[in-house]
Chain A
């Protein structure tokens, strides 16, 4: 398919761009296969706006006489307005944008056409391989092994080719366990807590059904992770009710009788359209500046967004508490084990493992616990807060995870190597990107699409010093402690950097941030100077004596 077919009017002059808190600018609008480009023609202050079509969430058009207006709402929550003279031009442009922003073939997406303008120092596709991860693990314990049972994705289509499982369980047993778990997602290692050797595993629900089917291998597998005489905890991310209802559809939960060494805790985390509606309502509330205080607070409440944040954080803290404080191993699952399960396992690691609070460690966490673990990014992030389509599989699961990380970051502002911008950047790229990292729904799809060969990895771009510097937290001081966030409603806040980003000027905040960085930089300079002077004096002393 040629993009040109979709672009009837590739260029329009005298277009006026409106953005909140900026003066309107007149300029030229160009449409290309993947971008909407607006450039102002003013000589003194030439300005260009590049917008990926895939970032466009919805588009509205209206006419006053022959002047057409297009309102573009983006997945990163920005809203811009374009006034286009000429009804035909406007209609053409609107329909082109509509078509280009809703291409249904992945291979037509921009990552397949993007050619990087930077030097590639490190191939991000090879930065976080399971083997390296396993090497780290095997330096502290020999109870685990890498299994290649899924090397051609035949056992579990949503798992990566290699997974980490207890050493005592062979592939044949794994195969049986896979039959007993929803989508074949058998329990695999998610995290090993070096401090006490406890582990966190994740899986999908067991297929017990109404008649309480059991699977000896499944019981054996998860029991293999327990120390003699110790109990473990199963954190089910559904309410007991939902878990019980799942039995009618062939799903279910681990029965006490068959798993006597395990205690089940139900921590309900919402999924799918409930989350999507929550996002839509929240963004609606944030975008209306005219709300009086009561209306704003009741809209914020009605969105339930912060309730979801609290639920997710609480479940993650509970998992971390079981591991670190109770010295117990944990298995986390919901239904499919691709959404709320991953929120819990990844957040628990941020709380427990200092490595996950570094930039590289966090990238590795996103790769391991989200991309390789088979969170269906393409489905979940197809649309954002302005979508009208009520597709069942769209949900801001990853955004909620990032929001939870931001909440912890706010409570422990010196414990993270990355800053808020890093999280916002990941949010943007999960929804629309020139990189192939978040394309596809699992490793299987990615390998079929040959993403590593045909597209650039986000990590190749991020992990260059020019970029990294933007994402570094100047306050970072590594600490090896477990960090317990407060989940009281008074401690949780609206993530302004994402939800109010386009709704208010942030000049004063940005400048204050800069000043803060200056103070830190200045401090380092002064320290260096003092050290140099002291050294000089010391050397003078020795010279004198000689």
Chain B
């Protein structure tokens, strides 16, 4: 609290980000220990978590006040105008302090209290059990076993304690191999394909330099290929561009020399590094945030940002991996430099394409726990949970979610979850409200005692899974869908408007087919139950007509009113877009939002009364 000097400022204006007519809402700004809150004159609330703030900027003073622009990690951008400069300065300074946390213990997750008792908290953390997951895949088995080599994080600090390796990989081989791999991240099992007996393994780059070799590492790879009885060849996928991998050789790192390893096929797949991805997203956001953007500026900006090219590269790599397993039954070893960014993307997407379990709500949680959290994707650094090196920030996980979104668009019936689920996970990866994504690796999480001091996100998402269900999902729809073979022709990749303009409601379709269908299918379940109930009632009544007579007298007896009583439209009772419903409808109802013409402002001046809610799309939110 010591950072907060001003807790409340009145007469603050919230500007519309895209409006050329400087349309604004006036209201009061509150600063709490965890949130920035804006309540406008019609009592609508905008909550911004301090941890979500990526950047705060104070613009030069204007006649109407001091502008304050806040950019959030969930791509919300708010533009306030604070009447007095001193208030603005205070808030600016407070936000700077509050959004930059120095210690994990100061993060929201450590103070967040969802009113769960201890046993619920423990149960919540037990919801996802990775040992169970490996069992589901079919390991341990004759060829793969659980290794206790890293039980005390002695071999690799950034790996989990429990690792699965080929049975023939002895401890000396593991130790030797880990010494030959960057950060000790030696090859381990990520996914096992029961039917093909093939495995996805992951590791970091070898410390091969220009000519170094390591017999244990070579044995390790051989052990992996031997653990696959269906194909003795295995693929080694280096997910980096060849040039980057070659440059690493000068630093004593590098890639596998095909001559030194028996039975491997080596392949580069060319996904760019975290720095390229960071600046790519930066460029994308600059373009999409431009006021009065023309179509051509948008498309050329999209092209120049390279963002969709990167998404395609990630998905292409996953497709390559899946082909090796599904078509050739070959095991694949995936790595990049450290094996926690691109490797996580490719392994998890590969598994998602191969195994329909990961396309269920629970399965997707497991996938994230396994390939991202347990294998040490550096969430803390990549999402800058603490005030740290800005060069470590990168939207690697966001790209993973976007790749999944692209798949859900191509295969509308293959996923149990919907876009809102992906967006919600993205929200919480950055919110630091739950313990799951805190820290950079499992060891760190244990040291922070997250399981005692914070809560797990997953039980909360499961509890409200109704919101995240895809109404069109069909688990046994067709056998071909077990394996997804996405089409990665360029025109299939689209700008993810609902992610990058999630909060810019004026850009969204005014009616959502998805929400309508979701509600109809919910309603169908309800109706099915109603029918059962009514049929039971009729049956009961036929059996003993007198008993229910009194009761039924209270019911209207005319059929017509009864019919009317059945909700003809479920959506009237339950707003279809639960979040931000109000905000959206009002924005959508105004022609000024849509920037048809620069004459808008002039119109408004001439006839200030024209903008009235009566017209709008106010009630058109279905």
Query: Could you say which of B297, B528, B611 contacts A526, with CB atoms under 8 Å apart?
Result: B528
Question: Which chain A positions have C-beta within 8 A of B537?
Answer: 537
| Shortest distance from the beta carbon of B555 to any chain A beta carbon, whole Å | 6
Question: Which chain A positions have C-beta within 8 A of B552?
Answer: 537-538, 540-541, 544
Beta-carbon contact of B516 and A475 below 8 Å: yes
- In B362-391, the 8 Å CB interface with A consists of none
The stretch from A269-277, A362-370, A425-433, A527-535 touching chain B is: A527-535
The answer to whether B100 has its CB under 8 Å from any CB of chain A is no
Question: Which chain A positions have C-beta within 8 A of B414?
Answer: 508
Beta-carbon contact of B559 and A487 below 8 Å: no
Query: Could you say which of B510, B557, B603 contacts A483, with CB atoms under 8 Å apart?
Result: B510
Task: Tell me, in angstroms, the Cα distance from A483 to B510 when the chains sit together.
Answer: 9
The answer to whether B299 has its CB under 8 Å from any CB of chain A is yes
Task: Tell me, in angstroms, the Cα distance from A269 to B39 when the chains sit together.
Answer: 42
Looking across the interface, which residue of chain B has its beta carbon closest to that of A526? B527
Q: Mark A455-493, 1 if CB is under 8 A from B, else 0.
A: 000000000000000000001010101111111111111
Task: Tell me, in angstroms, the Cα distance from A481 to B552 when the chains sit together.
Answer: 41
Given A500-B491, A530-B527, A414-B594 contact (CB < 8 Å): no
Looking across the interface, which residue of chain A has its beta carbon closest to that of B561? A538
The answer to whether B215 has its CB under 8 Å from any CB of chain A is no
| Shortest distance from the beta carbon of B121 to any chain A beta carbon, whole Å | 38
Task: Tell me, in angstroms, the Cα distance from A519 to B521 when the chains sit together.
Answer: 6
Task: Tell me, in angstroms, the Cα distance from A414 to B515 when the chains sit together.
Answer: 11
Beta-carbon contact of B412 and A512 below 8 Å: yes
The answer to whether A176 has its CB under 8 Å from any CB of chain B is no
Task: Tell me, in angstroms, the Cα distance from A409 to B292 when the chains sit together.
Answer: 23
- In B230-261, the 8 Å CB interface with A consists of none
The answer to whether B117 has its CB under 8 Å from any CB of chain A is no
| Shortest distance from the beta carbon of A444 to any chain B beta carbon, whole Å | 35
Question: Which chain B positions have C-beta within 8 A of A150?
Answer: none
Beta-carbon contact of A414 and B411 below 8 Å: no
The answer to whether B501 has its CB under 8 Å from any CB of chain A is yes
The answer to whether B489 has its CB under 8 Å from any CB of chain A is yes
Q: Mark A402-427, 1 if CB is under 8 A from B, else 0.
A: 00000000111111000000000000
The answer to whether A523 has its CB under 8 Å from any CB of chain B is yes
Question: Which chain B positions have C-beta within 8 A of A489?
Answer: 293-295, 297-299
Query: Could you say which of A297, A412, A522 contacts B620, with CB atoms under 8 Å apart?
Result: A412
- In A275-333, the 8 Å CB interface with B consists of 286, 289, 291-298, 300-301, 304, 306-307, 309-310, 314, 317-318, 321, 324-327
Beta-carbon contact of A512 and B589 below 8 Å: no
The answer to whether A539 has its CB under 8 Å from any CB of chain B is yes
Beta-carbon contact of B497 and A491 below 8 Å: yes
Looking across the interface, which residue of chain A has its beta carbon closest to that of B292? A488
Given A482-B615, A484-B589, A500-B491, A530-B534 contact (CB < 8 Å): yes
| Shortest distance from the beta carbon of B564 to any chain A beta carbon, whole Å | 9
| Shortest distance from the beta carbon of A116 to any chain B beta carbon, whole Å | 35
Q: Mark B580-608, 1 if CB is under 8 A from A, else 0.
A: 00000000111101111101100100110
Beta-carbon contact of A534 and B563 below 8 Å: yes
Beta-carbon contact of A325 and B610 below 8 Å: yes
Task: Tell me, in angstroms, the Cα distance from A545 to B611 when the chains sit together.
Answer: 57
Question: Which chain A positions have C-beta within 8 A of B491?
Answer: 286, 291, 296, 494, 500, 503-504
Question: Which chain A positions have C-beta within 8 A of B510?
Answer: 411-412, 483
Question: Which chain A positions have C-beta within 8 A of B512?
Answer: 413
The stretch from B57-65, B301-309, B441-449, B459-467 touching chain A is: B301-309
The answer to whether A133 has its CB under 8 Å from any CB of chain B is no
The answer to whether A509 has its CB under 8 Å from any CB of chain B is yes
Question: Which chain A positions have C-beta within 8 A of B114?
Answer: none
The answer to whether B545 has its CB under 8 Å from any CB of chain A is yes
The answer to whether B18 has its CB under 8 Å from any CB of chain A is yes
Beta-carbon contact of B559 and A534 below 8 Å: yes
The answer to whether A171 has its CB under 8 Å from any CB of chain B is no
Looking across the interface, which residue of chain A has its beta carbon closest to that of B545? A544
Task: Tell me, in angstroms, the Cα distance from A520 to B524 when the chains sit together.
Answer: 9
Task: Tell me, in angstroms, the Cα distance from A339 to B272 when the chains sit together.
Answer: 48
Question: Which chain B positions have C-beta within 8 A of A533?
Answer: 531, 534-535, 538
Beta-carbon contact of B493 and A487 below 8 Å: no
Beta-carbon contact of B296 and A326 below 8 Å: no
Beta-carbon contact of A493 and B296 below 8 Å: no
The answer to whether B487 has its CB under 8 Å from any CB of chain A is yes
Beta-carbon contact of B524 and A519 below 8 Å: yes
Beta-carbon contact of A293 and B490 below 8 Å: yes
Question: Which chain B positions have C-beta within 8 A of A479?
Answer: 620
| Shortest distance from the beta carbon of B584 to any chain A beta carbon, whole Å | 12
Given A493-B494, A504-B487, A414-B557 contact (CB < 8 Å): no
| Shortest distance from the beta carbon of B192 to any chain A beta carbon, whole Å | 28
Looking across the interface, which residue of chain B has its beta carbon closest to that of A296? B490
Task: Tell me, in angstroms, the Cα distance from A483 to B497 when the chains sit together.
Answer: 21
Task: Tell me, in angstroms, the Cα distance from A505 to B492 when the chains sit together.
Answer: 12
| Shortest distance from the beta carbon of A505 to any chain B beta carbon, whole Å | 8
The answer to whether B170 has its CB under 8 Å from any CB of chain A is no
The answer to whether A135 has its CB under 8 Å from any CB of chain B is no
Question: Which chain A positions have C-beta within 8 A of B610?
Answer: 325-327
| Shortest distance from the beta carbon of A299 to any chain B beta carbon, whole Å | 9
The answer to whether B137 has its CB under 8 Å from any CB of chain A is no
Task: Tell me, in angstroms, the Cα distance from A293 to B270 when the chains sit together.
Answer: 14
| Shortest distance from the beta carbon of A532 to any chain B beta carbon, whole Å | 9
Beta-carbon contact of A318 and B596 below 8 Å: yes
Question: Which chain A positions have C-beta within 8 A of B312?
Answer: 293
Beta-carbon contact of A515 and B620 below 8 Å: no
Ranked nearest first, the 7 interchain pairs of A and B with the lowest CB-CB distance are: A489-B298, A512-B412, A296-B490, A301-B299, A526-B527, A297-B303, A535-B559
Q: Which residues of B contact A (CB under 8 A)?
A: 18, 288, 293-300, 302-303, 306, 308-309, 312, 410-414, 471-472, 474, 477, 487, 489-495, 497, 500-501, 506-513, 516-517, 520-521, 523-524, 527-528, 530-531, 534-535, 537-538, 541, 545-546, 549, 552-553, 555-559, 562-563, 565-566, 568, 588-591, 593-597, 599-600, 603, 606-607, 610-611, 615-617, 619-620, 622
Apart from A489-B297, A535-B563, what 6 extra A-B contacts exist at CB < 8 Å?
A297-B300, A325-B603, A523-B520, A523-B527, A537-B534, A541-B557
Could you list 13 examples of A-B contacts with CB < 8 Å? Answer: A317-B591, A321-B596, A414-B513, A415-B620, A481-B620, A487-B595, A490-B298, A490-B495, A511-B413, A515-B413, A516-B472, A541-B553, A545-B553
